[in-house]
Amino acid sequence: MSDVIKIFHGPQHPGVTGNMSLELDLDGETIVRAVTHVGYLHRGFEKLIERRTLIQAFTIVCRICVPEPDPNEENLARGIEELAGLEISERAKFIRVLVLELARLQAHLLWLAGQGGSIGHEVVPQWAIGERDYILDLFEELTGGRVYHMYIYPGGVRRDLPDGFLDRVAAVLDQLQAQLPEYDRIFFENAGVKKRLQGVGVVAADEAIANGYSGPVIRGCGIARDVRRDAPYLVYDQLEFDIPTQTAGDAYARALVRRAEMDQSIRILRQVIEQMPPGAIQCKLPRHHKFTLPKAETYIQTESARGAFSYYLAGDGSEYLRRLQVRGPSIVHAFTLLERLLIGAQLADVALIMNSLGICPPEIER
């Protein structure tokens, strides 16, 4: 009689980073087989977008990753602009960077809350979700929505900054920057946290390169890859920031990378506030039914909090995209990597490993 038992970790489980499931075979508390299952979500984003006009499609892409929707908006908008030959203003570029870096900050805070809860450190989720809400307040003021923004728009952005908005962003950054040392003290430097994360979910640098891992996963292996630096877009080439790395390749190294990236996002945002130029926020677009794309194709990348987010777009001369293909970092992180890392791991470490990879299931079910 076999001693192996089968359990399903998710989709209704607080230790799963979204609506997906892990089929686990256990020998005692040790995992001997792991299979990732998706299919619990709204699927078919690519085909939904291909059957809508360019402006209608803009309202769909933010759903491709709920915790951080804005890189999807940037990819679609920049891809359409490149195909249509549109040049957006400097002010629109700076505002987009402002939105993308605020999105990165709130995504890292959401990750911190999830990882703290997975360890059982309940103070961290309370603090981190509270800090994140101040950023969501800014999004609500700017875009009208706390989570789905539909703000980065082909040709620029949907509306200008409200009066005094940059001052309120600076105040939120001041508050967060003052609080980050407390997160260091109670979480990142906590002996219990280190004991749970160090040596868990180790990824080697050569594996990360061979399989196309990105974001904190590859930077946690000591490889300083970041689309913002390697293939600059918007105004990132005008801003000063570092690419944090760690060498251990484990869940703790990825945590330290995210912690350092929060400092760098604050650094970028302060430069954006100081350098925000005047000018228009939207270039002139053709009328809706006359907004067509030529028979051409392009490949767009944006650096999200989880890694490189890529879009392939192809036009056919009509007001519809002939083909849209989305490749988020979760595709390889949730299948190729997660299934391997879980073999030999302990059941108690499943949520920690999964959180450390930053998996977002809608990216997979695109």
Q: What pLDDT digit, counting tens, does each position of 241-282 carry? A: 999 999 999 999 999 999 999 999 999 999 999 999 999 999
Q: Which residues contact 195 (CB under 8 A, 6 or more apart)?
A: none
Query: What's the pLDDT band for 20 if we cut at 50, 70, 90?
Result: confident
Average pLDDT estimate for 354-364: 87
Question: Given a cut of 80, is residue 62 above it in pLDDT?
Answer: yes
CA 139 to chain centroid, in Å, comes to 16
Per-residue pLDDT at 2: 66
Per-domain residue ranges of the chain? 44-330
Q: Are 254 and 237 in contact (CB under 8 A)?
A: no
Question: Given a cut of 90, is residue 365 above it in pLDDT?
Answer: no
Per-residue pLDDT at 295: 95
Q: What single string gives the DSSP state of each residue in 16-50?
A: SSSS-EEEEEEETTEEEEEEEE--SS---HHHHHH
The per-residue pLDDT for range 279-294, each reduced to its tens digit, is: 999 998 887 778 889 9
Per-residue pLDDT at 9: 87
The per-residue pLDDT for range 295-307, each reduced to its tens digit, is: 999 999 999 999 9
Q: Under CATH, to which class is 44-330 assigned?
A: mainly alpha
Q: What is the DSSP letter of 349?
A: G
Q: Are 172 and 266 in contact (CB under 8 A)?
A: no
Per-residue pLDDT at 203: 95
Query: What's the pLDDT band for 42 if we cut at 50, 70, 90?
Result: low
Tokens 């906590």 appear where?
190
Q: Which residues contact 352 (CB under 8 A, 6 or more apart)?
A: 115, 118, 119, 196, 197, 200, 201, 251
The per-residue pLDDT for range 189-236, each reduced to its tens digit, is: 999 999 999 999 999 999 999 999 999 999 999 999 999 999 999 999
Element (H, E) at 216: helix 216-219
